[in-house]
Amino acid sequence: MFDQTSVSAPTAVAAGPVIRCALFPPSPAHGASVEVKGLIDLILTRYHETHRREFPQAIALARKVEAVHAGDADCPRSLADHLAFMADDLESHQQREEQVLFPMILGGGSPMIRFPIGRMMAEHKDVEEQLVRLRALTRDHSAPPGACATWRTLVNACRKLDLDLHEHMRLENDVLFAPFLS
Ligand SMILES: [Fe+2]
Ligand SMILES: [Fe+2]
How remote is the CA of residue 174 from the centroid of ligand 2, in Å? 11
CA torsion, ordered 28, 34, 40, 45, to nearest 10 deg: -100
| CB atoms closer than 10 angstroms to residue 41 | 17
How remote is the CA of residue 101 from the centroid of ligand 1, in Å? 10
CA proximity to 153, closest of 85, 38, 68: 68
pLDDT tens-digit map of 52-84:
999 999 999 999 999 999 999 999 999 999 999
**Neighbouring residues of 43: CB distance < 8 A, sequence distance ≥ 6:** 168, 171, 172, 176
What residue segments make up the domains of the chain, in order of their start? 4-180
- pTM of the shown model: 0.81
Residues around ligand 2, an ion, CB closer than 5 A: 120, 172
How remote is the CA of residue 124 from the centroid of ligand 2, in Å? 6
pLDDT tens-digit map of 114-159:
999 999 999 999 999 999 999 999 999 999 999 999 999 999 999 9
pLDDT given at position 7: 35
- What is the percent of the chain where pLDDT is above 90? 76
